[in-house]
Structure 1
Amino acid sequence: MTELASATPTAPIARVFDASIFGEMTMTILESVADSQAKWSATANGMRSTIDRARWCVFALSSLGAVLAAVASQLQDGNANLRTFVAITAALCLAFATFFTHRLLGPDRIAAWVRARAISERLKREAYRYATKAAPYDDPVKADVVLGAELQKIDEDAKELLEQQIPAKDQGSSPRVFLGIDEYLARRANKQIAYYEDRAKEYQTRAWRLRSLELAFAAAATLLTAVASVVAKPIILGIPFDLAALTAVLTTLGGAVIAHIEAERYSFLVVTYRATALQVQRRVDGAKEPLSDFVNDCENILAAENASWIAKQTK
Structure 2
Amino acid sequence: MSILEFAANRQAIWSATANTLKFKIDFARKTSFFLSILGALVASLASMQATDNVLRTVLISVGAVALAATGIIGSQILTSEGIRQQIRARAASEALKREAFLYAAAAGDYSDPATRDNLLKTALEKIEAEINDLTLFQAKAPGPGSSPRTNLSFAEYLDKRVDPQIRFYDVKSEKYVKTSRVLHGIEFTLAFVAAILTALAGVIGKGVFDFAAVIGVLTTCAAAVMAHLQASHYDNLVVGYRAAGRKLENLKATTDETTTTVAAFANATEEVLAAETNSWQAMWSNNSK
**Same topology, TM > 0.5:** yes
In the alignment, is residue 110 of structure 1 matched against residue 83 of structure 2? yes
Distance in 2, matches of 1:165 and 1:298, equals: 29
How much does 1:29 deviate? 1.1
* Contact 1:232 1:242 (8 Å CA) reproduced: no
Superposed displacement of residue 264, structure 1: 0.7
Cα distance in structure 2, aligned partners of 1:210 and 1:265: 12
Q: Is the 8 A contact 2:157 2:262 kept in 1?
A: no
Q: Is 2:117 aligned against 1:144?
A: yes
**Cα distance in 2 for residues equivalent to 1:86 and 1:150:** 57
**Alignment equivalent of 1:263, drawn from 231, 234, 242:** 231
Larger Rg, first or second structure (1 or 2): 1
Q: How does 1:64-75 map to 2 (within 5 A)?
A: 64-75=38-49
Partner of 1:273: 241
1:123 and 2:91 are equivalent in the alignment: no
The alpha-carbon deviation at position 104 of structure 1 amounts to: 1.0
* SS state at 2:2 partner: helix
**Which residue identity lines up with residue 163 of structure 2 in the other structure?**
N
Which of 44, 64, 89 in structure 2 is aligned with 1:91? 64
> 64-73 or 255-264: which moved more?
64-73
Which letter maps to 2:276? E
The residue aligned with 1:23 is: none
TM-fit CA distance, 1:137: 0.6
How far, CA to CA, are the matches of 1:290 and 1:133 in structure 2?
A: 10
Aligned residues: 283
Question: 2-side partners of 1:85 and 1:274: how far apart?
Answer: 48
Identity %: 40
TM-score, length of structure 1 as denominator length: 0.86
Shift of 1:233: 4.4
The one-letter amino acid paired with 1:258 is M
Tell me if structure 1 keeps the 8 A contact 2:100–2:148: yes
Q: Of residues 194, 209, 214 in structure 1, which corresponds to 2:187?
A: 214
Mapped contact 1:72–1:86 kept (Cα < 8 A) = yes
Is the Cα–Cα contact under 8 Å of residues 154 and 261 in structure 2 kept in the other structure? no
* CA drift at 1:152: 1.2
Structure 1: gaps of 5 or more residues: 1-26, 235-239
SS in 1 for 2:106: coil
Q: For 2:265 and 2:146, how far apart are their aligned partners in 1?
A: 20
Answer yes or no: is the 8 Å Cα contact 2:187–2:225 preserved in 1.
Answer: yes
1:73-121 per-position Cα deviation (integer Å, ceiling 9, x unaligned) = 2322341x33222112111101111110111110011000000000100
Structure 1, residues 223-254: CA drift from partner, whole Å, max 9, x if none? 222332455446xxxxx541112101101100
1:30 and 2:30 correspond: no
The reply on whether 1:224 has 2:197 as its aligned counterpart is yes
Partner Cα separation in structure 1 for residue 243 and residue 51 of structure 2: 59
Superposed, which structure 2 residues align to 1:1-315 within 5 Å?
28-79=2-53, 81-233=54-206, 240-287=208-255, 288=257, 289-315=260-286
- Which secondary structure state, in structure 2, belongs to the residue aligned with residue 178 of structure 1? coil
**Structure 2 length normalisation: TM-score?**
0.94
Output the CA distance in 2 between the equivalents of 1:91 and 1:117: 36
AA at the equivalent of 1:298: T
Secondary structure at the counterpart of residue 136 of structure 1: helix
Asked which structure has the greater RCO (Cα within 8 Å, sep 6+), the reply is 2
The RMSD of aligned alpha carbons is 1.4
Q: What are structure 2's unaligned runs of at least 5 residues?
A: none
1:176 is paired with a residue whose SS is coil
Corresponding residue number in structure 2 for 1:17: none
Assess if the C-alpha contact under 8 Å between 1:197 and 1:273 holds in 2: yes
Q: In the alignment, residue 103 of structure 2 is paired with which amino acid?
A: Y
* 8 Å Cα contact 2:25/2:78 also seen in 1: yes
Greater mean deviation of Cα atoms: 280-289 or 50-59: 280-289
Aligned partners of 1:177, 1:217: CA distance in 2, in Å?
A: 55
